[in-house]
Amino acid sequence: MKSLKPRLLTAVVGITLLVLIIIASEWWNPFLGIIVGIASAFMVGEYLNANKLLRNFWLSVPCIFFAFLVSVAITTRYVYFAIVLFIIACFSVLIIRHDHLTYTEIAYAAFGTALISFGMSALTVMCSSSFGVTFYFCTAFALPWMADAGGFFVGAAFGKHKLCPGISPKKTVEGAVGGIIFCILTAVVIGLIFRFTVFSDLKVNFWSLMLLGLIDAPVSILGDLSFSLIKRSLKIKDYGSVFPGHGGMLDRFDSIIFTAPVLVVVNNLIPMISVV
């Protein structure tokens, strides 16, 4: 019970902040890119700190700055320049600091920074249109989190077969199936809510939403297991402690880093909402 209270309090505060971000983004669209950029930069900081690289400013500063810049510039032509400059910066640091940094450390930092930055910047991409910001934002967060909740409850009640015991002993095959079901149902419910209470001149494609739910759940598990494997290899429990009961920001958003780009891809192939 003691551990549940901080988790619930954190959830309430987190949801309130997300609602405020949605309202601000509806009013001024670039606001979301700035917030996502700040969040990405913070998560890259957690990621680097996990491997004791955060205080190596020659490496951490370019990584953190790139993480912020990508989310702000992802929908502009300047994102390519950011990528080129980041690559040059990483190899320049490797040459200048070769006595203090190994290629393995540079690769760890660069790959993780790119993964976090481009995964999170998908939130900016999906909400860059003139309509549907709230819809896409809610869908991006609700589906992986509900898949995680469904996996937890179904796994706790019916789980017998371990999914990946070497990385996450508590995950089960039954829980994964439950997560997929919860994810699809959540996608349909979101579509129904927006179709009949929010959108009056837009059409909701429920087939696209169900496809997203079907793909989102296993990709969410992939993201969770991937970052859990990194934690296990570094022998740490959490990436941080910014969220009481939930760990760091990267612990909370690890699945969204993988699922947000999936939403962008599915929406580009089969638009989820369109003007009637």
- Are 256 and 222 in contact by the 8 Å Cβ rule? The answer is no
Residue showing tokens 């959540």: 186
CA 145 – CA 256 distance, rounded (Å): 9
Taking each helix axis from N to C end, the angle separating 30-50 and 249-269, rounded to the nearest 10 degrees, works out to 130
pTM assigned to the model: 0.88
The pLDDT mean for the chain works out to: 88
Burial 40-54 (b: 16+ CB within 10 A, else e): bbbbbbbbbbbbebb
Going from the C-alpha of 11 to that of each of 8, 17, 23, 55, 237, the distances in angstroms are 5, 10, 18, 30, 20
Q: Which two tokens stand for residue 29?
A: 């669209």
Residue 1 has pLDDT above 60, yes or no: no
Average the pLDDT over 122-149 and give the result.
87
Residue 15 has pLDDT above 90, yes or no: no
Q: Which two tokens stand for residue 190?
A: 């979101």
Average the pLDDT over 259-267 and give the result.
95
The proportion of the chain whose per-residue pLDDT surpasses 90, expressed as a percent, equals: 61
**pLDDT on residue 7:** 58
Contacts of 265 (CB under 8 A, 6+ apart): none
**pLDDT on residue 3:** 52
**pLDDT on residue 128:** 78
pLDDT digits (tens, 9 = 90+) for 165-178: 888 888 899 999 99
- Are 174 and 158 in contact by the 8 Å Cβ rule? The answer is yes
CA 160 – CA 171 distance, rounded (Å): 10
Q: Taking Cα atoms as reference points, which of 33, 31, 57, 30 lies closest to residue 45?
A: 57
CA 146 – CA 11 distance, rounded (Å): 13
**pLDDT on residue 31:** 86
Distance between first and last Cα of the chain: 49
Residue 60 has pLDDT above 90, yes or no: yes
CA 266 – CA 227 distance, rounded (Å): 24
